[in-house]
Structure 1
């Protein structure tokens, strides 16, 4: 969904958006406490009333409510229905609200495409057990995050919903449809293609987990400064020489963790003795990933060059996730792909007419 156009990303997107707002709300609270010494004269200059940390989005299209904005094979969508959809999207995902606020034709087109796609796919879905109860759980989850933003003030949440013109019933109906679309997309994924994807991923190390200890020697301005003083930027040749020296010292038995704390330019592992423990190797840059996959266990590597500099590595542990461990992850990948395929290939033939306002 918006803005990633990935079905499975909808829940993540609104969770992240509201989490950011929660963090902002806490920061604002701290800032407010720091202003207790503000003079009364300064306070008098502040605008009256409280402004919500989550903007209320004006979703009005400036058209008559019964006007048809979209006609597709099997149905139509009116202005009133579409504005309600935009209001719900704005409420569950403030990031989407920013796009809706601008009323750009291309943004509105994406939302109308999503709306029609959801309706069509939901109609094709098999019976979904517990759809309403699961939908209500999702609504409660969103509302609980809003309460975090509003300091557990339920009246502020009620006002936010009233101002955005969304109700519990609206949100529940939206998520019932969401669960139906999810069910439909899952029926489009076959077990054999999931297993094939797993076997392909195994050959590329997608499901390998490793514990790797490393020392990064950065080149040039990438070098991280120590706690005190300035660190001389190394040329490529100097960095390579230092990495070779460190590899030699490690092979002679010096303590890896101690050398990492002294020499490594990687702030993410420096204080843990250079260790990244039980990490999916697919997350790493290609050269580091390849070494993590191929280096014999507990052997000190020759310096491995990446865009970050030179790495001296030691793989301490390596394992592979089984199919049952990752099949839900693989299914989610296919669900997103099936959603994109529907939007790209089938939806255009279903759409008959779109009547959206031009940007003023």
Structure 2
């Protein structure tokens, strides 16, 4: 809920939101969140289960407010409720999972969103016409990418996509303007990043920060079975692999990791820092094409791991990752230090406890 709006760049989000993939078992576990409203699938009305639009519902704002209420006044402008709600609806379109969580947002989370969106609007006002035009062109291209994904999920019918936008209270113009605003604000921050300074930082850095690996693994989970049962099954599979059985085939049959099951247990060219410590250590140190013996234990269970490739990204590849880190820092500093000097009045909506139930 506290992810910076600037880092909600459509650059990051494009083509990642509708895949339906779960959390990868090698990655840190997310915080537990409440499920989206709707309950058990079997308990849903038959009409809803058959309605393809039901899988992408409108965002539920966890409070009520006058559409013309002013949430923030700042030097040169203001943020009103109806514009803020359009932004929340846009989040729901760009990232349905995050949109579903908005109905459970408390006052602190809404405050974060208001502050971040206000900061993004201020940064947008600092963008020049060339930057805004480039951001709009990018927004139009991304809109078409999203539309293609949604149409595929909506029975391949474009009219269903049109109905979905209406259901979500959005227009194409709304979405283009919001994506342009976000990307323009990022462009303003990028102007302050010195590429020479990034290169110097890269030369001095611990190169594990920029190491990628292609790792194939089989997870035997301890969440669905006793630890000793998981260990025995992992050892049995390890023995079969040593005898020459196909790793990918066994992974598809036995792994408990939904994020890599269909790829035969493979995570390809992934940043090793995305994985939990034990998995990361194996990815960094295990000899190429050798199978972990014994299996690697993590909080998820036992992993049989084979590292198929490992490399340190050269600066030209690592540069974008470094820029993203600098953008995080720059935006965080802007929100925490500069924003309150520019805003003359806040009027954050209050979320009543009963509304979050």
State the TM-score, normalized to the length of structure 2: 0.66
Listed as ranges, the matches of 1:104-253 within 5 Å are 104-126=106-128, 127-128=130-131, 129-201=133-205, 203-209=206-212, 221-222=226-227, 232=232
- Determine if contact 1:68/1:355 at 8 Å carries over to the other structure: yes
- 3-state SS of paired residue (1:356): coil
Q: 2:325 aligns with which of 330, 333, 339?
A: 333
Aligned match of 1:52: 53
- 3-state SS of paired residue (1:18): coil
What is the distance in 2 between the residues matched to 1:310 and 1:48? 37
1:117-150 per-residue CA deviation (whole Å, 9 max, x = no partner) reads 1111112234315332211112222222221221
1:282-309 per-residue CA deviation (whole Å, 9 max, x = no partner) reads 4555566557656788999997986589
Greater gyration radius? 1
- 3-state SS of paired residue (2:53): coil
What is the distance in 1 between the residues matched to 2:105 and 2:275? 39
Deviation at 1:96, TM superposition (A): 3.6
State the TM-score, normalized to the length of structure 1: 0.66
- Determine if contact 1:59/1:87 at 8 Å carries over to the other structure: no
Listed as ranges, the matches of 1:262-301 within 5 Å are 280-283=271-274, 286=277
- Determine if contact 1:71/1:77 at 8 Å carries over to the other structure: yes
1:248-304 per-residue CA deviation (whole Å, 9 max, x = no partner) reads xxxxxxx9674997xx9x9589xx999988665545555665576567889999979
Structure 2, unmatched stretches of 5+, are 22-40, 353-357
Do the aligned partners of residues 207 and 62 (structure 1) sit closer, same or farther apart at CA in structure 2, a change above 3 Å counting? closer
Which region of structure 1 is more displaced relative to structure 2, 275-284 or 72-81?
A: 275-284
- How many correspondences in the alignment? 318
Aligned match of 2:33: none
Do the aligned partners of residues 275 and 92 (structure 1) sit closer, same or farther apart at CA in structure 2, a change above 3 Å counting? closer
**Higher RCO (CA 8 Å, separation ≥ 6 residues):** 2
Structure 1, unmatched stretches of 5+, are 22-30, 33-42, 226-230, 240-245, 247-254
Deviation at 1:4, TM superposition (A): 2.8
- 3-state SS of paired residue (1:359): coil
Question: How large is the Cα RMSD of the aligned pairs?
Answer: 4.9
What is the distance in 1 between the residues matched to 2:150 and 2:303? 44
Aligned match of 2:348: 356
- 3-state SS of paired residue (2:18): helix
